[in-house]
Amino acid sequence: MEYVIYEAKDMVGVITINREKALNALNSQVLDELNEAFDAVDLNTVRCVVLTGAGDKSFVAGADIGEMSTLTKAEGEAFGKKGNDLFLKIEKFPIPVIAAINGFALGGGCEISMSCDIRLASDNAVFGQPEVGLGITPGFGGTQRLARIVGIGMAKQMIYTARNIKADEALRIGLVNAVYPQAELMEQALKMAQTIAGNAPIAVRNCKKAINEGLQVSIDEGAVIEEKLFGDCFESYDQKEGMANFLRKKDDPAKVKHVAFKNA
């Protein structure tokens, strides 16, 4: 792959968008390679993915404006579908994906971060949906996910004004979970990924599914989704061993052990 790097270590995968000269802007090739990178994640060994951008200036500065500039209506729609299909794949990816947002997250950059489960930002990160200043709407999920994350009023304000916001404001409105000095961002993202990877993997996956699917339906239907995914955890090695470990600890605190969950 020319523009995407995939590495895996200690149950954590790291996908880096590596098109630094164009501030990691998303052209069709980057989108295709990101698709390939997610396909390359071995779900038997990797339990959490961190998605980031190369360099210390930009996470992703949006969809590629040069490529979009000559598209017809039909081609524009197809380009939107290409981005949406990929971002839906990230959103529904079986294991958690953490966005480590190391700079500009504009347009498609803000949108790809919103398809991730958790957003951590560096203190120099800048967020925005500048599309209406370019004569288009957000096209990779911005009109759909931003309102779900920060609320309707703030999403409409950001999208209609095309005004960028800095990391501290993104934190204040709930667009990101935490802000770190640039030099610490990856370390903190990997630390969180390791914590997630150390927990029972079937349970973590089922939590992601229950939260995502529950948000699309009524609370009654959501409760049914939860019951099924809760039930699905039982009789697994991880459930039996996780609970047995708790009970052993109660008998004798000396027996406190970290459970090596098996994804089984």
For residue 120, state whether it binds ligand CAA (rule: CB under 6 A). no
Which candidate, 104, 120, 90, 128, places its Cα nearest to that of 55?
Answer: 104
Residue 37's Cα: distance from chain center in Å? 14
**Which residues make beta-bridge pairs with 106?**
128
* Torsion sign over Cα 55, 56, 57, 63: positive
Taking the complex as a whole, how short is the minimal distance between the CB of residue 204 and ligand CAA, in angstroms?
A: 30
CA gap 129, 113 in Å, rounded: 12
Q: In this complex, which beta carbon is closest to ligand CAA, that of residue 24 or of residue 236?
A: 24
In angstroms, the first-to-last Cα distance of the chain is 33
Residue 196's Cα: distance from chain center in Å? 14
Binding to ligand CAA in span 11-40, by CB under 6 A: 22-23, 25
Looking at 134-142, 189-197, 205-213, 236-244, which segment touches ligand CAA (CB under 6 A)?
134-142
Taking the complex as a whole, how short is the minimal distance between the CB of residue 64 and ligand CAA, in angstroms?
A: 4
What is the total count of residues that contact ligand CAA (CB under 6 A)? 22
Instruction: Catalogue the active-site residues.
Output: 111, 131
Binding to ligand CAA in span 37-96, by CB under 6 A: 61-66, 83
Taking the complex as a whole, how short is the minimal distance between the CB of residue 128 and ligand CAA, in angstroms?
A: 8
For residue 201, state whether it binds ligand CAA (rule: CB under 6 A). no
What are the strands, taking DSSP E only, across 161-230? 165-166, 178-180
Q: In this complex, which beta carbon is closest to ligand CAA, that of residue 72 or of residue 218?
A: 72
CB 9 within 8 A of CB 228: no
Residues that bind ligand CAA (CB under 6 A): 22-23, 25, 61-66, 83, 104, 106-108, 111, 130-131, 134, 138-140, 142
